[in-house]
Chains A and B, each alone.
Chain A
Amino acid sequence: MGEGEVGVTTAQHEQPTPALYPAHYEPPHGPTWRLFFGPGFGRALWLTPLFFAIGMFLVVGLRYWWGWNPIWDWTVIVSVGGMIAAPIGFLAGIGAFDYWLYYLSGRPTRPEDHSGHGAQSWKDYFRVNTDHKVIGIQYLCTTFFFFVAGGFMAMLFRAELARPGLQFLDSQAFNGLVSVHATLMIFLFIIPAFAGIANFVVPLMLGAPDMAFPRLNALSYWLLPIAGVMFIASFLAPGGAFGAGWTGYAPLSVDGPVGNIFFNMGVQWAGASSIMTALNFLVTIITMRAPGMTFWRMPLLVWANFTTSLLVVIATPFIAGSQFFVFFDRVLHTDFFTPSGGGYVLGYQHIFWFYSHPAVYIMMLPGFGIVSEVISTMSRKPIFGYRLMALSLIGILVLGFSVWAHHMFVAGMANWLRVPMMITTLLIAVPTGIKIFSWIATLWRGRIHLTTPMLFALGFVTMFTIGGLSGIYLGSVPIDIHASDTYFIVAHIHYVLFGGSVFTIFAGIYYWFPKMTGRMYDERLGKAHFWLTFVSFNATFFPMHYLGLRGMNRRVFDYPEAFGNLNFFISIASFVLGASVVVFFYNMIMSWAHGPEAGGNPWRSHTLEWQVSSPPPIFNFDEIPQVVGGPYEYGVPGARHAVLAPAKTAEEVHA
């Protein structure tokens, strides 16, 4: 890979005063044993098993002391040792806690030397790094790894579904693949991919040198691979991977094979990561805006991440709670969701959806932000109705908390709850409609540059409209009663999360690729990628509306013969969709290594991240910029978003 280029360009940039920003961290040289005691993978290699052993002996010791049989209960040992203690050992090993532990233990804390900041070689991407730009790229590379893993699983079960009946999987493997596919795509791809883009872009857009809490930021990134490894490792569990769907409804998830605890605990790590990142964004956006950057001058991407972070902070603890309850029901034999013990089965769904419906907006609002940036810049026009665009985000945020039970219209909940939830659900169409109409009004009479990010943004606008409209069908209780739990739902969520979120992630990556790498991607390959994705996406998911309405229920490996041909067609289309990603990776890797220099502002955008070099200097701005106007004043003569001090010469810096 070409990460090296990033470092080279960064290093070429003028380094500010040495007293303020001392030299870059060098890993300790000297005897080999130091490799195993300094922060890094060497130390993690022995701390992880050590912590596992501590967790294991805690379990075994306590069970022995209390005389519980069996003393070696592997479910509990794996939960405590493997899923709580070992990850903490790993984090301690790579050095995520070093600074705090120095401080806590009263040892002389190292003065903030920014030693973990910035990247000069590819190795810096494998360290606990506190630079928001490095963390952003760490997020994106990690999430795309899991995107491929999740996509591969999808193609496996699509191959299984090409014909009715079982072909080459068994039903446990099928349920496991479906569940892990959804879990990876949601928790390890869409949510953190947006966090990655926002990590890179938001501090730059605000005119800030970094996030408010860089060490917390590094920690929240490193929690993520732990969750991903846990989800995938569930395939190794006796009885197979968790197979109760990504929704993990109790009591099935309580009674199912032990693989379910991998889901219960993995979600905790991914959730903790989200919550910490969201807090970090909130504090950064509230306190670190450059002078003059009022809320009404913030780019819509910042607005979007502000509202998303509020959603995350308020909602995510609920899924953590729901999974802990399921975990306790299994391991501690509590009765939260066991009717015979006084538990309430629907309670799980209420708590779960109180997070998981807002989660849909967590997976969509950042995309709205990205698309607003791309459409305004590429149409060379101010975003249409900027204030209403920002307010509609707030509207979605507020309404988003009042609709969770629309996932439960056929779940047997209180009947009176259905109509109020239907009304709030349908009303969400209003702020969403405002956004769609404002984007297309931004196109109107613009000067449209049909670049790859713009293609993905326009693909998003149309595909997300389909997803929103099928949402109207599902919002209407009577239609939902027929269509719920069928392939219509599968079609709807893929139009929202793939045609919606994933398209915006692609738009964002193409749009900021020159900023992140300093190089330009290949436009022809980008367009090929878009059209291949767009066509095969529709071929894969549009027929699913039909299948669902006609009577094909979801999460089944077998279906009536009559649906055979259409399913075969869908499977073929899904393989093309999978293959389209190869074009994307080829483009990214080759352009990162050999692409032409992009320059600081290839899109002639007004927002702040484009006013610095590509990739940006280590602390983003030599001097904090002064914001003097709105972010999208295209076509307004003489309008500026911000005034930046001219780059200083070396003599001035050292004077």
Chain B
Amino acid sequence: MRRGIVQLVVIGLVIAAVLTVVALRLKWLPTSASVQFDRIQDVYWLATGIAIAIFSLVAAVVIFSVWKWRVPLDDDADGPPIHGNTGLEIAWTAVPAILVIIIGVVSAVVLAKNGEAGSTPPLNVTVIGQQFAWKFVYPEYKNKTSGELVLPLGKQAKFTMKSVDVIHSFWVPNFGQKMDAVPGINTTIYVTPTRLGNYQVVCAELCGLGHATMRAKARVVSPAQFETWAKGKSA
């Protein structure tokens, strides 16, 4: 049986190795462009590590068992009458419980941090969703209204979502933050951009016939450029 255990472990390690390569070599997440998404990606890697371990274990036992103990269909013997094993059962109740609590605690910490206002007052942006376009209003800049989202690099922005018709959802994949714009209530998220560049605002909640085309441009620019843009006349 000892040889069997070694074979089982080898199968498990091979599966885990293949999955690790797939997880690392492919770029599964968009490049992070915000402090918040950096934190989310940490949780993502924690979850991925645990997922690879558990899947490798389950798949290895299934493959190993079928390989070792498969019998022809006309075999008419029975297996050993093993009804259970209290130690094992406690172990596979307790270990997953501990693992999910770890993920839960880390997630709760990241969630709290991502929902925290910084020490300096944030840049306020009101996001207005309507079928099928986004509108961005900057209350600190004389309610400058734009169809394009422009943010200064490194400054925390506080988005307040409103909707004039049905539910929309504000999402910039590179910021990793998302929140529904719900008629009748105001919702908020924080984003602190960390990377200059052009990104896309997408509507993530089915909002009708034009849902797929409800996109807008998002630009992260230097603070100086932002000031010029925000104080400029052109929308």
A→B interface (CB under 8 Å)? 171-172, 175, 243-245, 249, 251-252, 255-256, 339, 343-346, 379-382, 384-388, 410-412, 415, 418-419, 422-423, 426-427, 429-430, 433-434, 436-438, 440-441, 443-451, 458, 461-462, 465-466, 469-470, 472-473, 475-479, 481-482, 484-486, 523, 545-546, 549-551, 553-560, 604, 633-636, 639
Convert B183-199 into 0s and 1s, putting 1 for each residue whose CB lies closer than 8 angstroms to a CB of A. 11101000000000000
- What are the residues of chain A within 8 A of B69 when measuring CB–CB? 379, 443-448
Contact B206 A555 (CB under 8 A): yes
Residue from A172, A419, A559, A633 having most chain B Cβ neighbours under 10 A: A419
Per CB-CB distance, the 4 closest pairs between chain A and chain B, nearest first, are A339-B184, A551-B173, A556-B212, A412-B187
Contact status of A426 and B104, CB under 8 A, knowing A476-B43, A636-B81: yes
Contact B79 A446 (CB under 8 A): yes
Q: What CA separation (Å) do A427 and B79 show in the bound complex?
A: 33
Contact status of A171 and B30, CB under 8 A, knowing A382-B82, A465-B54: no
Answer whether residue B140 sits at the interface, using C-beta atoms and an 8 A cutoff. no
Answer whether residue B210 sits at the interface, using C-beta atoms and an 8 A cutoff. yes
Contact A175 B104 (CB under 8 A): no
- What are the residues of chain A within 8 A of B51 when measuring CB–CB? 469-470, 472-473
Contact B62 A604 (CB under 8 A): no
- What are the residues of chain A within 8 A of B65 when measuring CB–CB? 440, 443-444, 446, 448
CB closest chain-A residue, reference B168: A252
Answer whether residue B218 sits at the interface, using C-beta atoms and an 8 A cutoff. no
Contact A553 B204 (CB under 8 A): yes
Smallest CB separation, A522 vs chain B (Å) = 13
Contact A479 B79 (CB under 8 A): no
Q: What CA separation (Å) do A343 and B183 show in the bound complex?
A: 10
Q: What CA separation (Å) do A554 and B213 show in the bound complex?
A: 12
- Contact for B73 among A387, A451, A462, A639, CB less than 8 A: A451
Q: What CA separation (Å) do A560 and B160 show in the bound complex?
A: 27
Answer whether residue B100 sits at the interface, using C-beta atoms and an 8 A cutoff. yes
Contact A450 B66 (CB under 8 A): yes
User: Can you offer 21 A-B residue contacts whose CB atoms are under 8 A?
Assistant: A171-B211, A175-B208, A249-B206, A345-B167, A410-B169, A411-B182, A412-B180, A419-B108, A429-B100, A433-B96, A438-B89, A447-B71, A448-B65, A449-B70, A451-B73, A461-B58, A479-B107, A549-B28, A554-B204, A560-B200, A636-B81
B109-117, B118-126, B146-154, B224-232: which lies at the A interface? Answer: B109-117
CB closest chain-B residue, reference A546: B28
Q: What CA separation (Å) do A251 and B200 show in the bound complex?
A: 26
Smallest CB separation, B73 vs chain A (Å) = 6
Contact B178 A479 (CB under 8 A): no
Contact status of A381 and B75, CB under 8 A, knowing A440-B58, A443-B62, A472-B100: no
CB closest chain-A residue, reference B173: A551
Smallest CB separation, B84 vs chain A (Å) = 4
B→A interface (CB under 8 Å)? 26-30, 37, 39-40, 43-44, 47, 50-51, 54-55, 58-59, 61-62, 65-66, 69-71, 73, 75-85, 88-89, 92-93, 96-97, 100-101, 103-104, 106-108, 110-111, 114-115, 161, 165-167, 169, 171, 173-174, 176-185, 187, 200, 202-213
Contact B81 A466 (CB under 8 A): no
Smallest CB separation, B112 vs chain A (Å) = 8
Smallest CB separation, A566 vs chain B (Å) = 11
Contact B182 A345 (CB under 8 A): yes
Contact B84 A388 (CB under 8 A): yes
- What are the residues of chain B within 8 A of A550 when measuring CB–CB? 27-30, 173
Contact status of A448 and B54, CB under 8 A, knowing A479-B43, A635-B80: no
Contact B37 A381 (CB under 8 A): no
- What are the residues of chain A within 8 A of B93 when measuring CB–CB? 388, 430, 433-434
Smallest CB separation, B99 vs chain A (Å) = 8
Q: What CA separation (Å) do A345 and B167 show in the bound complex?
A: 9
Contact A251 B166 (CB under 8 A): yes
- What are the residues of chain A within 8 A of B40 when measuring CB–CB? 478-479, 481-482
Q: What CA separation (Å) do A419 and B218 show in the bound complex?
A: 30
- Contact for B180 among A243, A382, A410, A458, CB less than 8 A: A410
Smallest CB separation, B62 vs chain A (Å) = 6
- What are the residues of chain B within 8 A of A635 when measuring CB–CB? 78-81
Q: What CA separation (Å) do A399 and B159 show in the bound complex?
A: 34
CB closest chain-B residue, reference A381: B79
Q: What CA separation (Å) do A450 and B68 show in the bound complex?
A: 12
Contact B182 A346 (CB under 8 A): yes
Contact B180 A430 (CB under 8 A): no
Contact B76 A604 (CB under 8 A): yes
Q: What would 7 more interface pairs be, CB under 8 Å, given A476-B43, A550-B27?
A: A175-B208, A251-B165, A255-B166, A440-B65, A479-B44, A633-B81, A636-B81
- What are the residues of chain B within 8 A of A486 when measuring CB–CB? 204
Contact B208 A381 (CB under 8 A): no
Q: What CA separation (Å) do A273 and B50 show in the bound complex?
A: 41
CB closest chain-A residue, reference B58: A465
Q: What CA separation (Å) do A451 and B72 show in the bound complex?
A: 10
- What are the residues of chain B within 8 A of A441 when measuring CB–CB? 82, 85, 88
Contact status of A419 and B111, CB under 8 A, knowing A472-B103, A479-B47: yes
Contact B177 A481 (CB under 8 A): yes
Contact A634 B111 (CB under 8 A): no
Contact B79 A380 (CB under 8 A): yes
Residue from A344, A426, A449, A451 having most chain B Cβ neighbours under 10 A: A426
Contact B81 A462 (CB under 8 A): no
Q: What CA separation (Å) do A469 and B61 show in the bound complex?
A: 17
Contact B114 A175 (CB under 8 A): no
Contact B100 A426 (CB under 8 A): yes
Smallest CB separation, A613 vs chain B (Å) = 21
Q: What CA separation (Å) do A429 and B93 show in the bound complex?
A: 10
- What are the residues of chain A within 8 A of B107 when measuring CB–CB? 422, 476-479
- What are the residues of chain B within 8 A of A386 when measuring CB–CB? 83-84
Contact B202 A415 (CB under 8 A): no
Contact A559 B212 (CB under 8 A): yes
CB closest chain-A residue, reference B103: A476
Q: What CA separation (Å) do A333 and B235 show in the bound complex?
A: 39
Residue from A171, A423, A430 having most chain B Cβ neighbours under 10 A: A430
- What are the residues of chain B within 8 A of A172 when measuring CB–CB? 209
Contact B84 A634 (CB under 8 A): no
Contact B62 A251 (CB under 8 A): no
Smallest CB separation, A384 vs chain B (Å) = 6
Contact A384 B209 (CB under 8 A): no
CB closest chain-A residue, reference B202: A553
Contact A555 B179 (CB under 8 A): no
CB closest chain-B residue, reference A412: B187
Smallest CB separation, A10 vs chain B (Å) = 28
Residue from B73, B89, B114, B174 having most chain A Cβ neighbours under 10 A: B89
CB closest chain-B residue, reference A473: B47
CB closest chain-A residue, reference B90: A388
Q: What CA separation (Å) do A175 and B166 show in the bound complex?
A: 16
Q: What CA separation (Å) do A434 and B96 show in the bound complex?
A: 9
Smallest CB separation, B175 vs chain A (Å) = 9
- What are the residues of chain A within 8 A of B92 when measuring CB–CB? 433-434, 437
Q: What CA separation (Å) do A343 and B165 show in the bound complex?
A: 13
Smallest CB separation, B51 vs chain A (Å) = 4
Q: What CA separation (Å) do A549 and B73 show in the bound complex?
A: 44
Contact B82 A171 (CB under 8 A): no
- What are the residues of chain B within 8 A of A482 when measuring CB–CB? 37, 40, 173, 176-178
- Contact for B70 among A252, A450, A469, A479, CB less than 8 A: A450
Smallest CB separation, A168 vs chain B (Å) = 15
- What are the residues of chain B within 8 A of A256 when measuring CB–CB? 208
- What are the residues of chain B within 8 A of A436 when measuring CB–CB? 58
- Contact for B104 among A252, A423, A484, A546, CB less than 8 A: A423
Contact B209 A175 (CB under 8 A): yes
Q: What CA separation (Å) do A554 and B203 show in the bound complex?
A: 10
Q: What CA separation (Å) do A433 and B90 show in the bound complex?
A: 12
Smallest CB separation, A450 vs chain B (Å) = 6
Contact A485 B169 (CB under 8 A): yes
